[in-house]
Chains A and B, each alone.
Chain A
Amino acid sequence: MIYLDYAATTPLDQRVRDAMLPWLDAETQFGNPASDHALGRCARAAVERARSEVAALLGAGSDEIVWTSGATESNNLALKGALEFRGLQGAHLVTSRIEHKAVLDTCRYLETLGVRVTYLTPGADGIVAAEQVLNAVRPDTTLVSLMWVNNETGAINPVAALASQLRERGILFHVDAVQAAGKLPIDLARLPIDLLSVSAHKLYGPKGVGALFVRKRPRARLAPQIHGGGHEQGMRSGTLATHQIVGFGAACGIAAAAMDEEGRRLTALRERLWLGLQALPKIHLNGSETQRAPGILNVSFAGAEGESLRAMLPELMVSSGSACSSATREPSYVLRALGRDDELAGSSLRLSLGRYTSEAQVDAAAARIVEAVGFLRELSPLWSADETA
């Protein structure tokens, strides 16, 4: 069993689990963090420690971290919250066609409320260039939302270059950093990004918890999307899930310490995997060769249909695209957006590596994929036509 789907979700790190367990188990650690008695204060202190750990990973202040139930909520809160606060009617928003569904679906919803949205198409390398964004902004542009690292190709967008340019123009900048946090250095003390979404379960933390960074100075203001007891400075109400938040904090602490070494190791493993796949002719790397997050390799195998390819490889856990869109069988909208035709988009695998991936796993995976692609190509009328042509 070889798990190569770290971009969809990561296993919980044992150390994170150990940090969480007392908050699920101990007699004195189950209080509601909003309660005003000893048990409440105990839970509240843990929540605040975790907040500073998440903030530290991002170079943010603790008071700039708002807990959410995950990245989907963070992205919803950022976009709807910012636009609702600034006024929806006639507002203009710039984003890209390769954003996560949580951003794209939110944008489509905002369009129904009168927001105008520009969807940028990335280059063939899967990157949205800074100039594209700057050319698309207008005097009435309220917000730009761009992902730091694409979840399917791993391509890195130039958010650092964009941040100060957008700040100069007075445009709010939201970055979906779900695939970047814990993998690339992020220093929000230096980078004038206004809103930034992160998720715990992509960095070996628990599912069901995320955060939105909301800048204090200058203050990014949001209309809350979940109303209630006024938790999280009024921006997000609801009883805080102490164990989840503690797990998120622990995961961020570990990620911060391990980032450099892990980045080097995963880059080397990814290159090794890519090299192993070179035994096959007619394979295509999807996304940038150079501007890429360490752990993601997305490859199209001409002549080998993606669903059959996955079925041929039961011992590999891989994804044919974003985990969120695999319930539909359309070829990946991300690969289509960077110019792959339906056939190549439909014959792709996303291989995403992580903390527990070994050289032996990578070698075994490459060997199995080479074999399976060969088998399916043998079966394909297209492939024989290709060869005889």
Chain B
Amino acid sequence: MRPPDQNIYAYTEPVWQRFREPAHAGRLDAGSQVFSAEAGSAAARSLLRLQVELASGAVRRARFQAYGCPSAIAVGEWLAERLEATPLAAWHAIDAAGIRAALEITEDKAHCALMGEDVLRALLQTMSGRP
């Protein structure tokens, strides 16, 4: 698919770039070092799945899938980028406010950033072995 060339609905630049070319979109096959989490719901028209594959205590790959508006998709892409670039110990510092600031998400799309924080918290719980 040729990415859309014009941002006619004026999404913020960080959102638009990630929406049109989500380099980390995809799904990791199940494995002992693959962890997954989801947040949101189809009925609310926003659903985000985040997956990481670990190798010797560090992230080897992060992938996301999203159903929702361009901001929701951009949140997934941004999280996957960050997780690949951030030491595990620093993940807890990533929150909705940080996501909003990084993607310049406006007030009316703030719920997308919250969903990003939710999915990351859920992922951390999965990884720590807690239910």
Check whether chain A touches chain B (CB < 8 angstroms): yes
Complex Cα gap A382–B43 (Å): 11
Instruction: Report A39-89 residues with CB < 8 Å from chain B CB.
Output: none
Distance between Cα atoms of A378 and B2 in the complex (Å)? 14
Instruction: Find out whether the CB atom of A381 lies under 8 angstroms from the CB atom of B38.
Output: yes
B80 adjacent to chain A (CB < 8 Å) = no
Closest chain A CB from B10 CB (angstroms): 10
| Chain A residue contacts of B73, Cβ below 8 A | 308, 379
A179, chain B: closest CB distance, angstroms = 25
- Given A308-B70, A381-B66, A384-B27, do A331 and B4 touch, yes or no (CB 8 Å)? no
Residues of A within 8 A of B6 (CB): 314-315
Least CB separation from A375: chain B residue: B1
Interface size for chain B: under 10, 10 to 19, 20 to 34, or 35 or more residues? 20 to 34
What A residues does B65 contact at CB under 8 A? Answer: 379-381, 384
Query: Does B49 count as interface, using CB distance less than 8 angstroms?
Result: yes
A144 to B24, CA, bound (A): 55
Contacts of B70 in A (CB 8 A): 307-308, 311
CA distance A378 to B22 in the complex (A): 11
Task: Classify chain A's interface size.
Answer: 20 to 34
Does B14 make an interface contact (CB < 8 A)? no
Q: Is A238 an interface residue (CB 8 A)?
A: no
The interface centre, meaning the residue of A343, A372, A381 with most chain B CB atoms within 10 A of its CB, is A381
Query: Inside 8 A of A276's CB, which chain B residues have their CB?
Result: none
Q: Which of B19, B27, B38, B43 contacts A311 (CB 8 A)?
A: B19
In the complex, the answer to whether B25 meets A378 with C-beta atoms within 8 Å is: yes
Interface string of B22-50 (1 = CB under 8 A from A): 10010100000000001000111101110
Is B5 on the interface with A (CB-CB < 8 A)?
yes
Chain A residues lying within 8 Å of B48, measured Cβ to Cβ, are 381
Q: How far is the CA of A313 from the CA of B2 in the complex (A)?
A: 11
Given contacts A307-B69, A384-B65, A379 and B22 within 8 Å (CB-CB): yes
1/0 per residue, CB under 8 A from B, across A286-326: the answer is: 00000000000000000101011011111100000000000
* A306 to chain B: closest residue by CB: B45
CA distance A376 to B5 in the complex (A): 16
Name the B residues within 8 Å of A342 (CB-CB).
43-45
Selected from B7, B11, B22, B67, the residue in CB contact (under 8 A) with A381 is B67
A311 touches B9 (CB 8 A): yes
Whether A308 contacts B1 by the Cβ 8 Å rule is no
Closest B residue, CB atoms, query A317: B8
| Interface of chain A residues 347 through 389 with chain B (CB within 8 A) | 371-372, 374-376, 378-384
Query: Are the C-beta atoms of A382 and B47 separated by less than 8 Å?
Result: yes
List A contacts of B43 (CB < 8 A). 341-343
A97 to B49, CA, bound (A): 36
Inter-chain contacts of A192 with B (CB < 8 A): none
* Given known A305-B67, A343-B42, A343-B43, contact A310–B27 (CB-CB < 8 A): no
Q: Closest A-chain residue to B109, C-beta based? A: A329
A33 at interface by CB-CB < 8 Å: no
A346 within 8 A of B: yes
Closest A residue to B48 by CB, please name it.
Answer: A381
Query: In the complex, what distance in Å separates the CA atom of A315 from the CA atom of B7?
Result: 10
Q: Which residue of B lies closest to A377 (CB)?
A: B67
Min Cβ gap B46→A in Å is 8
- A374→B65 CA distance, assembly (Å): 14
- Check B45–A346 contact: CB distance below 8 A: yes
Other CB < 8 Å A-B pairs besides A312-B4, A379-B73, 8 of them? A311-B11, A311-B19, A314-B4, A343-B45, A371-B2, A379-B66, A380-B67, A381-B67
List 23 A-B residue pairs with CB atoms under 8 Å apart, sorted by A's residue number.
A305-B45, A305-B69, A307-B69, A308-B68, A308-B70, A310-B9, A311-B9, A311-B11, A311-B69, A313-B4, A314-B4, A341-B43, A342-B45, A346-B45, A371-B2, A376-B67, A378-B25, A379-B22, A379-B65, A379-B73, A381-B47, A382-B67, A384-B27
The 3 nearest A-B residue pairs measured at CB: A381-B65, A314-B6, A381-B49
